[in-house]
Amino acid sequence: MTKIAIVGSGLIGRAWATVFASHGFEVALHDVAPGAAEAARAHIAVNLEELAGHGLVDDPKGSIARIRVASGLADVLAGAGFVQENGPETVEAKRALFGEMDELAAPDAILASSTSFIMASVFSEGLKGRARCLVGHPVNPPHLVPIVEIAPAPWTDADVVARAKAIYEQAGQVPITLRKEKPGFVLNRLQAVLLAEAFRLVGEGVASAEDVDKTIRDGLGLRWSFMGPFETIELNAPGGIPDYCARYSASLDRMVKSSEGLGNPFDSGTVAEVMREWRGSQSAERVKKLSDWRDGRLAALQAHKRASARKPD
Ligand SMILES: NC(=O)c1ccc[n+]([C@@H]2O[C@H](COP(=O)([O-])OP(=O)(O)OC[C@H]3O[C@@H](n4cnc5c(N)ncnc54)[C@H](O)[C@@H]3O)[C@@H](O)[C@H]2O)c1
């Protein structure tokens, strides 16, 4: 199997290592911060046991045995056929890392970035090996949320895209492929629109942040855990999507246009309004407790989805 190099072992890097190792890949981990890759490996060992408890990983001990801590960038890339980069989210950091990785990695190794917003053309232009670079954007945490957005640059080889897709699938992920570049790809563009409206509704005093959360948690989100927006609206009018649009497009269009030209929905005044009634403090302890709770619920949901009947054709 292709050997995997994980460059940057923070939140996302260590989750990627979990994904690949638990699907049988040999994984090497690297981070510039001293001790970070070792700490990530220890964290992954605990995580794998928890996933096994939810029936999502068969062999936690075998999985952790497949992860090694590398001694540096050259070592992590040695023998790797697929590199998943998870460094800082700045254009400068991505350009610097991809420059170094392109120099050091085997010529046929694929170089994928976890970047949330930066297009592959921005950090790979000018590289000798730019045809083997692309974005493979995961969702936090990728070992529990399987979507990965493959976003190639205009010059990425079609064969590289196909090979990346096959590797992600082998690792149990659900890849989608963008047909052209767009900052933020698909997922974060959809999320941005929803977040902008959520902040505006609270900022304008229409609803509390808690009630907006409930609207997703106990409303839209229930269907979204197994259906997309198109699949959802298909069932909301007898004639399917065209009928839905004929009935509701004028109202939808009015709502969309009513937000056009408004200011930044994430400005400090609106954020303060959201925080006015927000309960709890942002202590590290509370974040850890909530993240563990979320991961447990996501694992249970994944187990449910795997055991569920497939959608009828
Ligand atoms: N956090 C999320 O929800 C999320 C989701 C999807 C994608 N991403 C993307 O994943 C990437 C990593 O995000 P994160 O949340 O894991 O950040 P993080 O801060 O948790 O981890 C980044 C790690 O990279 C290391 N690093 C910095 N420079 C390095 C270098 N030159 N070589 C090797 N390691 C280096 C840091 O020491 C740190 O451990 C970003 O591009 C981010 O946009 C994040």
CATH of the domain at 161: 3.40.50.720
Q: What is the mean pLDDT of residues 168-196?
A: 96
Distance 12 CA to ligand 1 centre (A): 6
The pLDDT value recorded for residue 44 is 96
Round to whole Å and give the CA distance between 10 and 14: 6
Containing domain of residue 119, as a range? 4-177
* Same domain as 192, residue 141: no
Put residue 182 in one of left, alpha, beta given phi > 0 → left and psi -120 to 50 → alpha: beta
* Same domain as 46, residue 159: yes
Q: What is the mean pLDDT of residues 294-305?
A: 88
* Same domain as 173, residue 42: yes
- Cα 172 to chain centroid distance, Å, stands at 14
For residues 52 and 69, the model is more confident at: 69
Q: Is residue 168 part of a domain?
A: yes
Q: Are 116 and 138 in contact (CB under 8 A)?
A: no
Distance 5 CA to ligand 1 centre (A): 14
Q: Is residue 289 part of a domain?
A: no
* Same domain as 68, residue 98: yes
| Domain endpoint, select from 157, 177, 197 | 177
With 80 as the cut, is the pLDDT of residue 196 above it? yes
Min mean pLDDT across 41-45, 117-121, 140-144, 184-188 is at 140-144
The pLDDT value recorded for residue 168 is 98
* Same domain as 196, residue 170: no
Q: Does 31 sit in the ligand 1 pocket, CB within 6 Å?
A: yes
* Same domain as 57, residue 122: yes
Strand order in the sheet with 82-85: 67-69, 27-30, 4-7, 82-85, 110-113, 133-138, 147-152, 174-177
The pLDDT value recorded for residue 38 is 98
Q: Where are the beta strands (DSSP E) in 8-81?
A: 27-30, 67-69
Of 170, 147, 130, residue with least CA distance to 2: 170
Q: Does 86 sit in the ligand 1 pocket, CB within 6 Å?
A: yes
Q: Does 188 sit in the ligand 1 pocket, CB within 6 Å?
A: no
Of 67, 86, 77, residue with least CA distance to 26: 67
Q: Where are the beta strands (DSSP E) in the chain?
A: 4-7, 27-30, 67-69, 82-85, 110-113, 133-138, 147-152, 174-177
Atom of ligand 1 nearest to the CA of 15: 16
The pLDDT value recorded for residue 167 is 98
Q: What is the mean pLDDT of residues 38-59?
A: 91
Q: Is residue 111 part of a domain?
A: yes
Min mean pLDDT across 36-40, 52-56, 106-110, 252-256 is at 52-56
Distance 90 CA to ligand 1 centre (A): 10
Round to whole Å and give the CA distance between 192 and 74: 37
Q: Is residue 109 part of a domain?
A: yes
The pLDDT value recorded for residue 279 is 79
**Cα dihedral 45/50/51/54 (nearest 10):** 160
Model confidence band, residue 313 (pLDDT cutoffs 50, 70, 90): confident
Q: In the predicted model, what is the mean pLDDT of the chain? A: 94
* Same domain as 171, residue 198: no
How far is the first Cα of the chain from the last one, in angstroms, to the nearest whole number?
33
Round to whole Å and give the CA distance between 47 and 41: 10
Q: Whose CA is nearest to atom 39 of ligand 1?
A: 10
User: Bridge-partner residues for 18, per DSSP?
Assistant: none
User: Bridge-partner residues for 7, per DSSP?
Assistant: 30, 85
Q: How many Cα atoms sit within 13 Å of 88 on the Cβ side?
A: 8
Q: Is residue 144 part of a domain?
A: yes
Model confidence band, residue 28 (pLDDT cutoffs 50, 70, 90): very high
Q: Are 171 and 150 in contact (CB under 8 A)?
A: no
* Same domain as 201, residue 163: no
The percentage of residues in the chain with a pLDDT greater than 90, rounded to a whole number, is 82
* Same domain as 198, residue 99: no
Q: Does 114 sit in the ligand 1 pocket, CB within 6 Å?
A: yes
Instruction: Report how many domains make up the chain.
Output: 2
Summarised one tens digit per residue, pLDDT across range 227-283 is: 999 999 999 999 999 999 999 999 999 999 998 888 999 999 999 999 998 877 788
Structure tokens at 128: 């000798």
Min mean pLDDT across 3-17, 143-157, 274-288 is at 274-288
Round to whole Å and give the CA distance between 269 and 225: 32
Round to whole Å and give the CA distance between 150 and 114: 10
Structure tokens at 270: 């609106």
Q: Does 116 sit in the ligand 1 pocket, CB within 6 Å?
A: yes
Burial 126-157 (b: 16+ CB within 10 A, else e): ebebbbbbbbbbbbebbbbbbebbbbbbeebe
* Same domain as 55, residue 104: yes
Q: Does 7 sit in the ligand 1 pocket, CB within 6 Å?
A: yes
Model confidence band, residue 308 (pLDDT cutoffs 50, 70, 90): confident
User: Bridge-partner residues for 69, per DSSP?
Assistant: 29
Q: Does 37 sit in the ligand 1 pocket, CB within 6 Å?
A: no
